[in-house]
Amino acid sequence: MAREREIDQPTGTETTGHEWDGIKELNTPLPRWWLWTWYATIVWAVGYWVLMPAWPLVNSYTTGLLGHSQRAAVAESIAQARQAQSGYVQRIQAASLADIEGDSTLLEFALAGGRSAFAVNCSQCHGLGAAGSLGYPNLNDDDWLWGGTLDGIDQTIRFGIRSSHDDARVGDMPAFLRDEILDRAQIEDVAAYVLSLSETVEDTEAVARGAAIFAEQCVACHQDGGTGSPELGAPNLADGIWLYGGDRANVIQTIASGRAGVMPAWVDRLDAATIKQLAIYVHTLGGGE
């Protein structure tokens, strides 16, 4: 027999029958709109399980009747983007570097591609903004070790510098102390001369002695006045821009032991169109010749 329903007098609401020290719990029903919304979400969830990928299984998951796959959608949009790019990539492959720079649409495409390829392949050494760091040249300025023409940059990127590639750029500065060409005192003198090309050096006698050594040992690569030779990768020593640091200790270290920085060759790692885009990107960074 059903329990007698008790109605709470002041509110007119049924009680649940629970009672604590005379306090009775009311059985307030959920609002209708709330309940129906709740039922609707349950129906929606069941429909979703059936139609869409939902439940993890041991090695897979329920794929759903609609066959929806985020992975497939991404693959498709990548394929579409490739398709859209392929026309440009082919044009870049066919055009000369100078023609690409002269064509504003191709140039824009090449710069975007070059920027992202640079971030992936080059920024580890040259920095994200290509500003370089000790031993890694800044590619934004107009100071070039190997020349800043489009073709020069392209060649550097393709074959590298002192890389393992047969066509790599090579230019080997001797290690004057280690190879016993000069002694410690002579190296200090020639360092004083090198520094005097870009700043005031107090010890003018050392500078004079250093100038004589420089004329004998260094001009073949660094030229009179230390202006450098791009064909040999010998930097300008008079411009106050230093690859390996311009304080006395660093300059002495360079002369005593040599440096021989290595830049990898990219010709076997990146496709031709990507290398062209990189050359154009680097060329337009600021110091292109």
- CB distance 7 to 17 below 8 Å: no
> Which range in 9-17, 26-34, 73-81, 227-235 contacts ligand HEC by CB under 6 A?
227-235
Residues contacting 93, CB < 8 A, separation 6+: 272, 273, 276
Q: Closest by alpha carbon to 154, among 44, 281, 30?
A: 281
Q: Which positions from 146 through 165 interact with ligand HEC, judged by CB under 6 A?
A: 146, 153, 156-157, 161
Residue 185 contacts ligand HEC per CB under 6 A:
no
Binding to ligand HEC by residue 121, rule CB under 6 A? Answer: yes
Q: Which is nearer to ligand HEC, 47 or 225 (CB)?
A: 225
Angle at 143 between CA 137 and CA 149, to 5 degrees: 100
Q: Pick the closer one to ligand HEC by CB: 110 or 282.
A: 282
Distance of alpha carbon 272 from alpha carbon 250, whole angstroms: 38
Phi-psi category of residue 160: left, alpha or beta, with phi > 0 → left and psi -120 to 50 → alpha: left
- Decide if residue 265 touches ligand HEC (CB under 6 A): no
* Shorter beta-carbon distance to ligand HEC: residue 124 or 204: 124
Among 168, 177, 206, 221, binds ligand HEC (CB under 6 A): 221
| Candidate segments 72-80, 92-100, 198-206, 262-270, binder of ligand HEC by CB under 6 A | 262-270
Contact 38, 27 (CB under 8 A): no
Identify which range of 6-14, 52-60, 93-101, 122-130 contacts ligand HEC by CB under 6 A: 122-130
User: Does the footprint of ligand HEC cover residue 171 (CB under 6 A)?
Assistant: yes
Residue type (1 letter), 143: D
Cβ nearer to ligand HEC, comparing 110 with 251: 251
Q: Tell me the C-alpha distance between 233 and 173, whole Å.
A: 9
Q: Is 85 or 217 the residue whose CB approaches ligand HEC more closely?
A: 217
Cα separation, 248 vs 251, whole angstroms = 5
Q: Which is nearer to ligand HEC, 126 or 276 (CB)?
A: 126
User: What is the sign of the dihedral through the CA atoms of 234, 236, 242 and 245?
Assistant: positive
Q: Does 248 bind ligand HEC (CB under 6 A)?
A: no
# chain residues binding ligand HEC, by CB under 6 A: 49
89 binds ligand HEC (CB under 6 A): no
Closest CA to 166 of 239, 79, 267: 267
